[in-house]
Structure 1
Amino acid sequence: NGELTLGENIADIGGVSIAYEALQRRIRKHPEINVKMDGLTPDQRFFIGWAQGWRMNMRDQTLKWQVSNDPHSPDNFRAQLPVYVHESFEKVFGELSKKGNTKVKKIKIW
């Protein structure tokens, strides 16, 4: 229910943007931390970490209740939507960001 979840979806998009900007400021202040770890840049680890934070299993009955009553989108959408619409996601992952995804308009909330 897009009307029910709109406010929280906007909050998630804003949260990703604020957190990503905080990472960028930290890297500018301490460029020595801008190194790959396990083959991933700090920016890539940021987006992966965001998605990992939303991992969970949910029973179908619980999911049906959630989409009808909870102002939060299901976790798999909360993991994906805010990063797909983030202006830096495609820059960070390049062609990998486009695999299996339809073209998503990039937006900036704040």
Structure 2
Amino acid sequence: SIGFVIGHEMTHGFDDQGAQFDGSGNLKNWWTDTDLTKFKQATECIVNQFSQYVVDGDLHVQGKLVVGEATADLGGITIAYRAFHLSKEYKDAKTINGMTPDQQFFLGTAHVWATNIRPQQIRNQVTTDPHPPAQFRVNGSLANISQFKEAFAIPENSPMVNKNRCIIW
């Protein structure tokens, strides 16, 4: 779980806001034209994906509002997963209660966002907060990660598999 949080915060240095600053913290475009175009295409994928999510029956998540946090969530999970696979803990990990080490990793990641929220509060969040609602921080991010799909043998047509996978890094 802490690996996800660390990876999330690291990724903010390269999200839609952080990517506008150079290594010295100056507002400066340091991207090549090609890299910037690819980055914008990748983040537009996230905007489109998250804009499809609906809360409280009729209110769409604002993809443009949440793109930075959703990008950081996706980056954080990706970084944490890679670090987990390089760790001694992974090499020594065992299946517990029928769950493989990879399944345990993704379950632990999802538990970070376990919450209970009232309808009015989630409506307020969707209209003002740059963080996606917790359920989409989990499902939206994991739907883009092929290792998650493989770990749980999720069928291609499941809502937990984004048919237009968003890949940032």
- 1:90 aligned residue (146, 149, 153): 149
What is the 5 A alignment of 1:1-110? 1-27=62-88, 31=91, 33-95=92-154, 100-101=158-159, 103-104=161-162, 105-110=164-169
Contiguous gaps of at least 5 residues in structure 2 = 1-61
For residues 84 and 77 of structure 1, do their structure 2 counterparts lie closer, same or farther at Cα, with a shift above 3 Å needed?
Answer: same
Higher Rg: 2
Q: Please list the CA deviations of residues 46-103 of structure 1 after superposition, one character each: whole Å capped at 9, or x if unmatched.
A: 11111121111111111111000000000010011111101211111113x6574265
Amino acid across the alignment from 1:11: A
Q: Measure the CA separation in 2 of the matches of 1:47 and 1:83.
A: 8
Amino acid across the alignment from 1:41: T
For residues 25 and 103 of structure 1, do their structure 2 counterparts lie closer, same or farther at Cα, with a shift above 3 Å needed?
Answer: closer
Shift of 1:19: 0.4
- Which TM-score applies when normalising by structure 1? 0.85
Contiguous gaps of at least 5 residues in structure 1 = none
> Between the two proteins, what is the percent identity of the paired residues?
35
Greater fraction helix? 1
User: Which structure carries more relative contact order (alpha carbon 8 Å, separation 6+)?
Assistant: 1
Moved over 4 A (4+): 97-100
